[in-house]
Structure 1
């Protein structure tokens, strides 16, 4: 997959500025254009090349005339006149198609430079603001203690006088969110959250009085030694003495019997086979294609099923979420590695990794570990921005612009071979009020996957073609696996 960045912008007209079917595809390089526009540029380049080929053919036709007539003596029936007219027409086709392609690339490069500059400046601003908060935060906190105390007392007395319950604040917040469903699906929120998450380590550096140039050099904008990973590790260090976010041993077992399966042909089928995040259900689906000794595999990983910070029997829990971001051997990661070995995946076998949410983060980490031969990876709504995929690996990360979960990965590494596909799900559609974070729902990502299959974007087509090459067309078998945590010590 080539290092080209493509991005689609909404058509004016709806809330949020456009259609919820617009795809944004970004990756290495500096081009930014809609997936359709990028396909048009490729078509124009192909037309330009074809025009050049026809000009060469016409030149060979001209040479076949053993007794050419000089141009001043041409008549309407002369071969030279016909060849000359054809040359002019084809040359104009090549010139115009090349000019249009150049114009598209020029505009795309300009937008790309502006977008990259805005991203860099936003990250730099977040670094400085985080560091500044860390430096002055303790002093502001001490100064605010009297005001906060007076405010708390006043709020308590006021609630008694008005008859409202002191604990009604969470209910009021829930009602406000129900009345303002766009609050958590506004694309500005994930963008700001991505910068905020990446700035936590800078705030910690400010608290520790580490000089700002040193903090900047070590952080996400520099060497990457500090960042989202170290911030998550800090959260674990604070929570585990309290008995929270603790990791335990994990065992893995097969759920049900193996069943026949056919190879997936595109993104829609990949997304459709990701296990749903249900308590007590299978979290890993493994498909095998080909005979023993030359098998190819697809591994599907589901999202978080348990949000309790305490130790439960579920490895796909909040503890694994934080531990995975911290790269500290999350229970879900260990369960996936064990399930793949139990299913028969050998280190040299080609593997396609697919995952949603936490499953996408774990899929990226399995690919980055190098313990298995991951050849393709597709993730949906995963906070995996900080995970560096191996060079040359065809990777597609799907992130909704109105989904805050991928932003929890911060401003991380972006490999040249990784394509990032974005869509604003609720750009023009009403936001559901009966469920939280609707843009993060697996059903929403499955719809985006269907749009990706219909997209003319060349690299998305290339991924689907590679999927068919790796898996072949013969039926295979599917097995399902469930990991269970050992009781906490």
Structure 2
């Protein structure tokens, strides 16, 4: 398991740039200190006046001097806080300018790179396939001990790839920048002329609301190609309740971020709904949504697969999204029902799209490890998005767009023996990061956590399985 280390970085609340936690805490503490000094100065000033009829003993002068010193300190601390805020604002402007410049540079290059790759593959494709065939035949003829040694080397190579390449901040940063332009590269690689590619992209908003050059547009192109190949990312589904354990008891209300992330279920039963009743008798629903089932065949029976991932990032009505909607309806949630959505990875994308859909009275949103950079939150509800800087899965959603959600990021270090290829994406690591976020002193994050619903009397916990319906296509 990987656990996050180092300082958190926090942003959002209308922007997309994240800033180191200690700087935001310092700004907050400077403001508090300036207020304390100013308040103390105002309390001391009346003591500086001489007492009526009393003998002057100098105590008033001491109090007056102290009040003046405190007032000067309050001004100096306030100026220091203002200087820090200006520096942070300057960093945000610089970060935005760099991202814009890189985006404008990469956009026209992607199609050319795709076309060049297609031409190169046409030249070397035949010899490459022949070479792979010879290598496969040679591997089959090797003694068993030699094949085992090669397998060990391959596993070591995959671990190296995960540790030194995929689970690296530079890789995830570049992936976030490049993802919005993959559609240009894909169209160029399949031979679509640049003029026609531009025309297709200009049609994207009228098809599904995706802006050209966005991650959603990229995923939309991939989703169309996948649907043509039979990957049923948006096929209809059905859900079924899992019978509760005989000794099960009503749920206790979750607390903060960590309390919710701890309840995210396994993909075998990918949806959990908890029902609570408030003092006035109104019901509140908390839904917890699992991440991708990595062993699920693409477009197969299990809707938490890669096909649904593509459909979600394209902001289509993915099978997994349909399943959560069906589970909430079965549990009794309607358009007027307060719902708090919590999801991990693919479940985080589902949670974000449903929270923003307007189909429910969204009361909160918590996501971890989700590819939702291109899914900004605009609703008026508390929302927190947690990601690891070296998690390649979150980078597949593209660089974060300005959002009303609070963005929390952290480094994920400490690879251990037996870690998987995407160790920075593991749910256990995100549980630890959520606990650290709960303890943060940054007002923006603390206010969002405190605004999440709490309390109520637990009524029931309902777990659901889900499957795609047989014999259906995308719809």
TM-score tier after normalising by the smaller chain length: 0.7 to 0.9
Q: Deviations over 1:240-284 (max 9, x none)?
A: 33333354321122222374112122111111011123x3x3433
- Larger deviation, residues 268-277 vs 235-244: 235-244
- With over 3 angstroms needed to count, the CA separation of the structure-2 counterparts of 1:483 and 1:301, relative to structure 1, is same
| Aligned: 1:87 with 2:67 | yes
Contact 1:309 1:319 in 2 (8 A): no
Partner of 1:201: 183
- The Cα shift of 1:452 comes to 0.9
Query: Using the alignment, how far apart are the partners of 1:242 and 1:170 within structure 2?
Result: 31
Shift of 1:193: 1.4
Task: Evaluate the alpha carbon distance shift between residue 30 and residue 384 of structure 1 in structure 2; reply closer, same or farther with a 3 A threshold.
Answer: closer
CA spacing shift, 1:173–1:94, aligned 2, 3 Å: same
Distance in structure 2 (CA, Å) of the matches to 1:342 and 1:19: 37
Alpha-carbon separation, structure 2, partners of 1:212 and 1:237 = 14
Matches within 5 A, 1:35-184: 35-60=21-46, 76-79=57-60, 81-134=61-114, 136-142=116-122, 144-145=123-124, 148-153=125-130, 173-179=154-160, 181-183=162-164, 184=166
Please list, as runs of the form range in 1=range in 2, the aligned pairs for 1:157-306 lying within 5 A after superposition. 173-179=154-160, 181-183=162-164, 184-204=166-186, 207-210=192-195, 224-257=211-244, 259-277=249-267, 279=268, 281-290=269-278, 294-306=282-294
1:34-76 Cα shifts (integer Å, max 9, x gaps):
223312211211221233334444445557966899xxxxx65
- Please give the alpha-carbon distance, in whole angstroms, between the structure 2 residues aligned to 1:228 and 1:476: 40
Partner of 2:408: 421
Distance across 2 between alignment mates of 1:224 and 1:67 = 79
Pairwise CA distance, 1:295: 1.9
- C-alpha separation in 1, matches of 2:236 and 2:196: 40
Query: Deviations for 1:432-480, whole angstroms, at most 9, x for unmatched residues?
Result: 444231111110100101111121111222122212xx33354443222
Question: Matched residues in 1 for 2:273 and 2:331: separation?
Answer: 10
Residue 357 of structure 1: which of 345, 350, 356 is its match? Answer: 345
Match of 1:347 in 2: 335
Work out which structure has the larger RCO, using CA pairs closer than 8 Å and 6 or more positions apart in sequence.
Answer: 2
Q: 1:418 Cα deviation (Å)?
A: 1.5
CA distance in 2, matches of 1:196, 1:31: 18
CA 62–205 in structure 1, closer or farther in 2 if over 3 Å, else same: farther
Q: What CA RMSD, in Å, does the superposition of the two structures yield over aligned residues?
A: 3.5
Question: Which sits farther off after the overlay, 326-335 or 86-95?
Answer: 86-95
Match of 2:366 among 371, 378, 384: 378
How many residue pairs were aligned? 454
Displacement of 1:307: 4.3
Unaligned 5+ runs, structure 2: none
Shift of 1:314: 1.6
Which residue of structure 2 aligns with residue 338 of structure 1?
326
Change (3 A) 1:64 1:466: farther
Kindly state the Cα deviation for residue 366 of structure 1 after the two structures are TM-superposed. 0.2
Q: Indicate the SS of the match to 2:302.
A: coil
In structure 2, relative to structure 1, the CA distance for the partners of 1:345 and 1:58 (3 Å cut) is same
With 258-267 and 379-388 compared, the bigger mean Cα shift is at 258-267
